[in-house]
């Protein structure tokens, strides 16, 4: 079968990648989507059960650091688009094992860039119609201060903004904000972003970078705050709140991120950066209380039943105080907007995890349970 485009999505078996693969496979039957994933602890083909038999979907188990394998794969499928999500993505793991983060996030990205460059440069039309799209995080910008008294109306609002939305500071991350990463995770992502831009500036590669805020939704590995806490509430296990629970994160529903990736892949300008976020800041402790309320309501528990599970533990090293994205550029230039209001998104997410207990139990049983116990020992 001849496809109009051949697109590699790296990390397609992970959380965000699986939503991107699903969206593209279903929306563009004329494209062949090649999911390249090493299937680390975070990769799970069960995330893609509903589309695995589609004729325009191919799965390849491979390591992005393997330059020869990447080059061969790109040639085999005459790839003209790359959407790069594969990464080590958890800050706590990066604090314990920074080497793995440098290897995958920096060297893996470089290996993909170099393979794409060699292949595309050898073609008569060279970079014409090609695209290397790198998915990154707002954490590369560092941390913002919390300097706005609570209760003051923020300058922006979107569909995603929670009811009674607050901004906890008067500054935001803009596309022009200087990089200032603090964790080994964000340092490795910052480095990979620089490599991507360097390949545009040096060789003229058609690259795009986007930096997104914290995602939530179905299929997220349960070491991250939201799925971890939903599962622990369900199992009546302690909820380990780092420090005082005062840190602020800006949350976006994962399908809204996938839609932004679709719009930017097709309409974004080469060499540009776009920030993606919903103007939806939450203090961890307030968000945790919303999750508790939602889970208790759905399980039929009395209101406040699971509040006793909140357990304050030793803070994360170098824990960034506040992240807050300004996504005005993306909204104005490409017309993207979040579709889901936060409280709806949380309810949808809680219901998904409670309805998909088998998915969760398959991950949290066995080896992962031991890792989790070791991780929290001493906190
Ligand atoms: P994830 O950890 O859920 O998934 C990562 C995927 O990459 C997994 O399927 C894993 O098997 C695969 N992978 C890891 N190393 C690999 C390698 N060497 N070769 C091939 N595949 C490999 O991550 P996620 O949360 O879905 O994040 C995806 C991307 O989006 C990452 O680049 C991350 O930095 C970025 N991002 C994430 C968030 C968030 O809130 N989760 C926010 C902004 C940006
Ligand atoms: P996380 O989901 O790990 O995302 P990130 O570190 O990339 O923002 O954490 C979100 C916030 O929740 C962060 O401020 C750390 C905090 N947190 C806890 O308080 N307890 C936990 O068990 C976890 C995993 C996170």
Give the residue from 231, 223, 212, 232 showing the smallest Cα distance to 338.
212
Residue whose Cα lies nearest atom 35 of ligand 1: it is 136
Please pick, among 127, 141, 185, 242, the residue that the annotation labels catalytic: 185
From the CA of 316, the nearest ligand is 2
Domain 5-220+251-279+319-342, CATH:
3.40.50.720
Looking at residue 148, its pLDDT comes to 72
Quote the CA–CA distance of 354 and 364 in Å, as a whole number. 14
Question: Which residues contact residue 52 at a Cβ distance below 8 angstroms, ignoring those fewer than 6 apart?
Answer: 45, 59
Q: Distance from the CA of 91 to the center of ligand 1, in angstroms?
A: 12
| Tens of pLDDT, residues 298-342 | 999 999 999 999 999 999 999 999 999 999 999 999 999 999 999
Looking at residue 27, its pLDDT comes to 98
pTM score, two decimals? 0.97
Averaged confidence pLDDT in the chain? 94
Question: Which residues contact residue 36 at a Cβ distance below 8 angstroms, ignoring those fewer than 6 apart?
Answer: 8, 9, 10, 11, 12, 60, 62, 64, 70, 73, 86
- For range 244-258, the mean pLDDT: 97
Quote the CA–CA distance of 81 and 132 in Å, as a whole number. 6
Looking at residue 156, its pLDDT comes to 73
Cα angle 133-216-181, degrees, rounded to a multiple of 5:
60
- Whether 366 shows a pLDDT value over 80: the answer reads no
- For range 350-364, the mean pLDDT: 94
Cα angle 135-340-251, degrees, rounded to a multiple of 5:
50
Cα angle 154-156-162, degrees, rounded to a multiple of 5:
75
Q: How confident is the model at residue 39 (pLDDT cuts 50, 70, 90)?
A: very high
- For range 152-160, the mean pLDDT: 72
Q: How confident is the model at residue 278 (pLDDT cuts 50, 70, 90)?
A: confident
Site to probe by mutation for ligand 1, drawn from 9, 11, 18 as the one with most ligand atoms within 8 Å of Cβ, is: 11
Q: Is 374 a catalytic residue?
A: no
> What are the percentages of helix, strand and coil residues in the chain, rounded to 5?
45, 15, 40
Q: Is 185 a catalytic residue?
A: yes
Question: What dihedral angle (degrees, nearest 10) is formed by the CA atoms of 112, 264, 79, 117?
Answer: -40
Residue whose Cα lies nearest atom 4 of ligand 1: it is 14
Quote the CA–CA distance of 227 and 359 in Å, as a whole number. 12
Q: How confident is the model at residue 170 (pLDDT cuts 50, 70, 90)?
A: confident
Residue in the structure block whose two tokens are 């695995």: 52
Quote the CA–CA distance of 113 and 118 in Å, as a whole number. 9
| Tens of pLDDT, residues 91-136 | 999 999 999 999 999 999 999 999 999 999 999 999 999 999 999 9
Quote the CA–CA distance of 353 and 228 in Å, as a whole number. 10
Looking at residue 367, its pLDDT comes to 67
Q: Where are the domains positioned within the chain?
A: 5-220+251-279+319-342
- What are the structure tokens assigned to 109, written together? 């990205």
Phi, psi for residue 99 in degrees, rounded to 5: -60, -45
From the CA of 42, the nearest ligand is 1
Question: Which helix or strand (DSSP H or E) is residue 241 part of?
Answer: strand 239-242
Residue in the structure block whose two tokens are 């939201």: 226
Q: Is 138 a catalytic residue?
A: yes
Q: Could you give the C-alpha distances from 205 to 5, 116, 212, 260, 272, in angstroms and in order?
A: 18, 9, 22, 22, 12
From the CA of 209, the nearest ligand is 1
Asked if residues 57 and 33 have their Cβ atoms less than 8 Å apart, the reply is yes
HSE at residue 36, side-chain half, CA atoms within 13 A, is: 29
Per-residue DSSP letters for 30-60? TEEEEEEE---TT--GGGGTTTTT-TTEEEE
């Amino acid at each position: 079968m001849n496809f109009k485009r051949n697109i590699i999505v790296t990390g397609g078996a992970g959380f965000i990648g699986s939503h991107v693969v699903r969206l593209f496979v279903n929306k563009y039957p004329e494209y062949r989507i090649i999911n390249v994933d090493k299937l680390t602890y975070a990769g799970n083909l069960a995330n893609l059960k509903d589309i695995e038999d589609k004729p325009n979907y191919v799965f390849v188990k491979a390591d992005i650091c393997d330059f020869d394998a990447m080059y061969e794969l790109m040639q085999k499928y005459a790839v003209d688009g790359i959407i790069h999500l594969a990464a080590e993505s958890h800050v706590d793991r990066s604090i314990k094992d920074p080497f793995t983060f440098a290897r995958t996030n920096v060297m893996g990205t470089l290996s993909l860039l170099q393979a794409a460059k060699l292949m595309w440069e050898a073609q008569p039309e060279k970079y014409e119609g090609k695209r290397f799209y790198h998915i990154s995080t707002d954490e590369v910008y560092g941390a913002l201060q919390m300097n706005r008294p609570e209760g003051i109306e923020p300058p922006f609002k979107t569909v995603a903004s929670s009811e009674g939305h607050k901004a906890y500071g008067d500054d935001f991350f803009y596309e022009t904000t200087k990089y200032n990463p603090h964790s080994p995770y964000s340092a490795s992502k910052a480095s990979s972003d620089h490599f991507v831009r360097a390949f545009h500036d040096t060789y003229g590669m058609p690259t795009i970078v986007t930096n997104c805020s914290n995602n939530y939704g179905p299929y997220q590995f349960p070491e991250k705050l939201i799925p971890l806490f939903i599962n622990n509430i369900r199992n009546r296990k302690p909820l380990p709140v780092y420090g005082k629970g005062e840190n602020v994160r800006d949350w976006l529903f994962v399908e809204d991120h996938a839609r932004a990736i679709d719009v930017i892949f097709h309409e974004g300008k080469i060499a540009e950066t776009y920030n993606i976020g919903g103007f939806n800041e939450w203090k961890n402790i307030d968000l945790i209380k919303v999750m508790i309320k939602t889970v208790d309501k759905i399980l039929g528990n009395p209101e406040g039943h699971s509040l006793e599970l909140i357990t304050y533990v030793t803070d994360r090293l170098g824990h960034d105080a506040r992240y807050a994205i300004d996504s005005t550029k993306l909204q104005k230039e490409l017309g993207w907007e979040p579709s889901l209001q936060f409280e709806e998104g949380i309810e949808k997410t809680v219901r998904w995890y409670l309805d998909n207990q088998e998915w969760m139990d398959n991950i949290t049983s066995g080896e992962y349970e031991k890792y989790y116990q070791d991780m929290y020992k001493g906190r």
